[in-house]
Amino acid sequence: MTAEQNIPALDPNRLAPLLSAAGFTTRELPGTYDFGAEPPRILHHAITEHGQLVAVLEWIEDHRRPAALITELAVYPNASDLLVAECGPISRIHARVFAVTLAANVPAPVVCAAAIAATTAQVPNRATR
């Protein structure tokens, strides 16, 4: 946390070492400040052998007191859902098959283990849901 603001830092290296070893790619997404504003985010994603997308999205919710690191693990039915995984929460809710939000006190190795395990699950595509 920064001393002057008491806000946790968004660190792309918190999960990247373990996830990159498992085939995930890490990207930093800038914040948007127009309609539908989104904070800066870190996206870790992998395409499974079934052609599905597993995404771990992290961001800081600084409007909370105290500010909190939020981690979202989601599975999308198609690799092409990568653009949606970068969008706001409403778009993500409509596209994904499964998602869980993890609190900041969940250790990074546990988040990574869950993400890696999610790459083995086969989920139905949109046509069969």
13-67 pLDDT, tens digit each: 999 999 999 999 999 999 887 776 788 999 999 999 999 999 999 999 887 778 8
Range of the domain at 14: 10-122
Question: 3 lies in a domain?
Answer: no
Asked if 44 and 25 touch (Cβ cutoff 8 Å), the reply is yes
Tell me, yes or no, whether 114 lies in a domain. Answer: yes
Residue written as token pair 């546990």: 110
DSSP three-state, residue 3:
coil
Please check the confidence at residue 1 and state whether its pLDDT lies above 60: no
pLDDT of residue 63: 76
- What is the predicted pLDDT for the residue at 103? 85
Give per-residue burial for 47-64: e unless 16+ CB within 10 Å, then b.
Answer: bbeeebbbbbbbbbeeee
Q: Is 108 inside any structural domain?
A: yes
Average pLDDT taken over every residue of the chain: 88
Pairwise CA distance, residues 39 & 80, whole Å: 23
pLDDT at 4 over 50: no
Token digits of residue 46: 């992998």
DSSP SS3 for 11: coil
Whether 128 maps to a domain, the answer reads no
pLDDT for 90 = 86
Residue 27 lies in a domain: yes
Task: Give yes or no for residue 89 having a pLDDT over 90.
Answer: no
**What's the longest Cα–Cα distance across the chain?**
51
Count of the separate structural domains present in the chain: 1
Residue 2 resides in a domain: no
5 located within any domain: no
pTM confidence score? 0.87
Strand, helix or coil for residue 96: coil
Assess if residue 70 is contained within a domain: yes
Nearest to 124 by CA among 88, 75, 82: 75
